[in-house]
Structure 1
Amino acid sequence: MKQLVSLALAAAVLCPSAATAEELKSGLEKGKGIGPFYVTKTAGAEDDGVAEGQNLCYRCKNGARPQVMVFTRSTDQKVVSLVQKLDEQLQKNEEAQLRAFVNMLGTSKDAAESDVKKLAVASKAKNVPFVVPNEFENGPEDYGINPKAEITIIIANEAKVVSNHAAASAKDLDLNAVLGDLKKMLN
């Protein structure tokens, strides 16, 4: 029995990627349809016709247009950088009608609202709305956001998932991969 426990411990130490890979599965898979979900706008995108405090379905407002949905529990610098890059892409791809919005997740709605406001200020994004989903703990149930994922990014077009990125820690997010998939979708 001791040998079995030792062997299991050794496998866990030597192969952490097996456990990590499971944790990083988060959000809708490629090809799946993106359903509606409601959020409260908290900050950002002052010119999008939606007032702060308004409850709406941004996913619905965006329709079948190309869009990026960010679900985060973090205000890490990597998330700030992602939002800044998305803001740039929204301006560059105005003709393609690219849309994006950032959903802050948290253990309480008040904490999520506070964090998303901090993220909006830190990013200085002009075109990205910052929201708190009505289902604030893990986002919309049918989107399958993993509670262990600090950030999940869903890139969609024509109401279907084109690409999905997730990381247990926002620090581990591969910005180049996200932006690369976004560029592929737009071309």
Structure 2
Amino acid sequence: MKNVSLLSLAIALAFVGSVSAKDALVSGPQEGDRIGAFYVTKCAGASDDGVEEGKNLCYRCKNGSRPQVMVFTRSTDAKVIDLVKKLDAAIGKNEDAQLKAFVNLMGDSKEDLNESAKDMAAKTKASHIPFVVPNEFENGPDNYGINAKAAVTVVMAGNAQVKASYAVADAKDLDVDAVVANLSKILQ
């Protein structure tokens, strides 16, 4: 009887695990995928990166194969602000590794996103991170497959390959510490 109960418990736990994995929000390129080029307009931030505000460029390309974090967000929630602050601090601490990051704001109106980017740059006081609006601003670059249901998608890459990916439907569910802990995957 004891073995039957343990077997039932094991099956129940396996079912719960498969449901949560099945229901996980997938957004953007996933671990092992190559990261492609996409164009953005710089709106604010990173005043010393050699790129003028208003310039259209590929930051992914500018960063090359260096370790980089690409944040795609529809939200300027406090959790997103916290994430950007922690990423900015990590960039300062990892200058030798040449860690880079940039924040892509997405939504319905390019003008509103431009203003949101400037507001977010001011709120975060990030000195190393540019705030940009992708040319494909509604859902981010087509070749990245950003899920329309994702409020925040974070892609971490090294050598132009995704090492970690994280997405949430609601910015309030963003586990900033878990995302920042994944930096170790690209700083090796």
Give the shorter-chain TM-score range: 0.7 to 0.9
Q: What is the identity percentage for the equivalent residue pairs of Structure 1 and Structure 2? A: 58
- Give CA-to-partner distance per residue, 1:125-184, whole Å, 9 cap, x none: 011000000000000111010111000000000000000000001110111211111023
Question: What are the ranges of 5 or more consecutive residues in structure 2 without an aligned counterpart?
Answer: 1-15
Q: How does 1:24-173 map to 2 (within 5 A)?
A: 24-173=25-174
> 1:77-131: per-residue Cα shift (whole Å, max 9, x none)?
0000000001001100010000000000011111211111111111010110000
Aligned-residue RMSD, C-alpha: 1.7
In the alignment, the residues of structure 1 paired with residue 22 and residue 157 of structure 2 have an alpha-carbon distance, to the nearest angstrom, of: 23
CA contact (8 A) 1:73 1:105 kept: yes
Cα distance in 1 for residues equivalent to 2:86 and 2:22: 26
Q: TM-score, normalised by structure 1?
A: 0.88
- After the TM superposition, which of the residue ranges 22-31 and 32-41 deviates more from structure 2? 22-31
**Alpha-carbon separation, structure 2, partners of 1:21 and 1:109:** 34
Q: Could you say if the C-alpha distance between residues 86 and 172 of structure 1 is closer, same or farther in structure 2, counting changes exceeding 3 Å?
A: same
Q: What TM-score comes out, normalization by structure 2 length?
A: 0.87
| Structure 1 gaps, min length 5 | 1-14
Structure number with bigger Rg: 2
Q: Distance in 1 between matches of 2:183 and 2:93?
A: 12
Total equivalences in the alignment: 172
Moved over 4 A (4+): 17-23
Query: Letter of the aligned partner of 1:82 in structure 2?
Result: L
Deviations 1:12-39 (A, max 9, x none): xxx9x95995472111010000000000
